Chain A
Amino acid sequence: MDAMAAIKQTFFQECEEQLAELESGLTAILEGDGDAETVNAVFRAVHSIKGGAGAFSLDDLVRFAHIFETALDHLRAGRLAPSPDLLKVMLRASDALADLVRATRDETNLEPQRFAALAAELRAFDPASMQQTGAAAIVKETDGAADCADDEIVFRPILMDESMFDEMDAPPAAAPRLFRIRFRPKPALYAKANEAALLLREVSNLGECSIVCDSSELPFLPDLDPEGACLTFLITLSTECDESSVREIFEFVEWDCDLDIAEETDEPAGDGVDISALVERLQASVEAERAALEEANARSAAGATPPSARQNFSPAQVEGSDTGDGVGSIGKSDPAKSDPVKIDPGKSDLAAKGDQPGPSIRVDLERVDRLINLVGELVINQAMLAQRVLEEGLARASGVATGLDELEQLTREIQDSVMAIRAQPVKSVFQRMPRLVREVAAMTGKAVRLVTDGENTEVDKTVIERIADPLTHMIRNAIDHGLETPDVRVRAGKAEEGVVHLSALHRSGRIVIEVSDDGAGIDRPRVKAIAADKGLIAPDAALSDDEIDNLIFLPGFSTAAAISDISGRGVGMDVVRRSIQALGGRISIQSRPGRGSTFTMSLPLTLAVLDGMVVTVGGQTLVVPLTAIVETLQPKVADVHEFGGGARVIAIRDQFTPLIDVGRELGYRADNADPLAGVALLVETEGGARNAMLVDAILGQRQVVIKSLEANYQHVPGIAAATILGDGRVALILDVDAIVASSRADSDAHLLAAAG
């Protein structure tokens, strides 16, 4: 059953994709961007979920999906108009369906009332129930009733195809009955790849039977239409089954043959007929016919005709109806009746590019990571080789050096390509947001429209996984704090509906994600008052607008007067900022009173490499993450002040900032180094605090491949990871936050705030 369990897992994965498709499709229709294919895609999504659920006997899921599907079918067929009311119910139904899928997957229970209520809402849109009220009024002839019947019959986890298999479990009838069957296939029967011999074999499975082939209509070979049908079969069948069982065998072909079935009431005449011999004979004659057809098709000489086929020929007329109805015309038949939602090729190409990124394979993440690691090694190795060549003093123009240059280029390309394997479009995160917006909008009573942009922007999978939470929080904030209520908006001369804009784009090797709203903007006097109130800034501090806006990122700052259900969960923008910074990213805010705010996050595309500043401290080479560094400066005597316990501060543009000696902090030296001989790096921690870190010298900037220290050695306080430099030496990557935290004497809140 392992294989089935795996398929079930695939099913749930696929459900997630279908649900995303469903939601975006419904949203598009609601916004008037939907066409017939959008509606069909939405229908297909629910239909697929239902189909898969049926296969696994997930009855609750099948039931709800079916009701949903029925409503969508009405929409698809134009029996329901895509009104905003209907679509809003459908969007809620899609949320509910998502919950139901997940609950089914996790085998948790959900309150059935919610689904019953939504099902009732969906049913209320049913055109049948809108015309005739009262459930009893909806009877057979309406679509609703037909679908209800479906509900009971089709969606059982067993095959319902009575047509093909009924003879397998046909109920035994009392006495044998005798049927005389005349079966004359038309060319169309063969054109659909049905096979008279197979049908006859099925008939013979029903009971005792004799079959006679009438080949009198066969013309001479030169006149034979290779795609015609000239044989008639006369069957005498003695069976315990009834006529319907016999007819069912011919269900697929009943339009493509002449079929007469007559029951004889007297005793069976077929006495002692050797059935297998008869079937064999029949098979032989059919083979012969086939051979003749193929022969004619190849337009070979009459002399090559197999003798068995020739024996069957007798002079007869070829019926016009047989020859006129060839396969070719069937293949092209009914263009007008083809699917109304079938899309033209140009459009399908577009759809293919937009929605389906072409053929793909699934690979274990572990394998990809191993590849990435190996490429990392390759990069390091290449750098080491380059260094050696340099040390050998070979000329830049020498063959070895140019070869190395090419190798370097190739290595870069391989690295980029491998990184791209882990890259995924941010779509997976963005797709979760519309639902969030709907929920928050409903809770706050605000009208909100979410506009997303750049969903296909790609970024490392790990980054995607870790931006979901901060993004969720920011969108909540944008609606809860940013946007005004509809009446306030109207009074301010804005549209009743607020707009939250979510976009992603690539900019200079990073991904930039923006969340903006067209709300009221930051209420600066209030923010300042709160910050002063909470002791984050001095009451009389003179702050620029920008600085005030940035106060909301400080730990412990929360603008909500009362902790609301939505944004106020004890975390604020400081948590958002911290999680962004933990990813090596930055977040900033621009706000215009009355016009709204924009939060901009900039994140690295991958967590496997890092832009670092290579520095030396106490003879050791270290790497400081570039994202943490605000600026570098040369300390001057007058700026450095010492106070108790070896603690020092440095005045940077009239603000005192703690000066941390990295060498002393990491135990490379016992005493503070001379600040004048070194370089100070002004760094910003994840908490937003600024500190100056004293190092001996800066060697340069470079991209380094991150190697986990925990995985290869053990955790070392103050060190985030390691890397291997071009000369083959291991360099440690500093954990700026840990260094600052360990050195921080009790920090002065005023100082902090002023720096923030």
Chain B
Amino acid sequence: MTKTILTVDDSRTMRDMLMLALSDAGYRVVQAEDGMHGLEVLAGEKPDVIVTDINMPRLDGFGFIEGVRGDDRHRAVPILVLTTESDAEKKERARRAGATGWIVKPFDPIKLVAAVRRVAS
């Protein structure tokens, strides 16, 4: 069964790159432009994995993750945080918010897919 990945990133470039890498790997990709949009998309989708940026307008990645974890339908979905900000404090915050793991940008498409496979049981 085709797995669905939700990508949440305010950068079109990043969204396109994620789309390219993930759809090449056979995933179905749905996109959102920021955290708020992501939560809206989740109302009609049940992704198997979420890949999200941190620094976004309207609702950032931390708030988005908290929103997902607070939603009974989605709280069990693995969430990978995708960010250039690799410092421990950011990771700690993402973790506290409920992130499953993180990937540091810029990412190698092959390793991105490997990371997604790992959490998507």
Contacts and interface: CB of A to CB of B under 8 A. Distances in A.
A330 B58 contact: no
Contact of A44 (B16, B55, B106): B55
A52 B16 CA distance: 11
A193 B78 contact: yes
B13 A154 contact: no
Contacts of A89: none
Nearest to A66: B84
B3 interface: no
Given A3-B20, A48-B11, A191-B69, A55 B105 contact: yes
Contact of B84 (A154, A168, A338): A154
Interface string A346-390: 001001100110000000000000000000000000000000000
A55 B105 CA distance: 8
Contacts of A252: 95, 99-102
Interface string B28-62: 00000100100000000000000000011111101
Nearest to A53: B106
B17 interface: yes
Interface residues of A, number: 64
A142 interface: no
Interface centre among A47, A48, A352 (most CB of B within 10 A): A48
Given A197-B121, A339-B62, A52 B13 contact: yes
A161 interface: yes
A721 B94 CA distance: 62
A542 interface: no
A295 interface: no
A569 B100 CA distance: 61
Contacts, number: 167
B56 A44 contact: yes
Given A48-B10, A155-B106, A193 B100 contact: yes
A333 B96 contact: yes
Given A163-B101, A198-B119, A337-B96, A331 B106 contact: no
B38 to A, nearest CB: 13
A310 interface: no
A47 B114 contact: no
A43 B33 CA distance: 17
B79 to A, nearest CB: 6
A202 B69 CA distance: 25
B5 interface: no
Interface string B67-97: 0011100011111000010110000010111
B8 interface: no
B86 to A, nearest CB: 5
Contacts of A356: 33, 57
Contacts of B119: 193-195, 198
A179 B98 CA distance: 29
A421 B33 CA distance: 22
Contacts of A718: none
A271 interface: no
Contacts of B108: 158-159
Ordered nearest first, which 9 A-B pairs have the shortest CB separation? A331-B70, A54-B106, A11-B13, A331-B69, A193-B78, A52-B13, A55-B106, A159-B108, A159-B111
30 contacts: A10-B13, A10-B16, A41-B57, A43-B55, A44-B10, A48-B10, A48-B11, A51-B11, A51-B105, A52-B14, A54-B84, A55-B13, A154-B84, A156-B106, A157-B106, A158-B106, A159-B103, A161-B111, A192-B99, A193-B79, A194-B100, A194-B101, A198-B121, A252-B100, A252-B101, A328-B70, A331-B66, A332-B66, A333-B96, A348-B58
Interface of A: 3-4, 6-7, 10-11, 13-14, 37, 40-41, 43-44, 47-48, 50-52, 54-55, 146, 150, 153-161, 163-165, 168, 190-195, 197-198, 202, 252, 255, 327-328, 330-334, 337-339, 341-343, 348, 351-352, 355-356
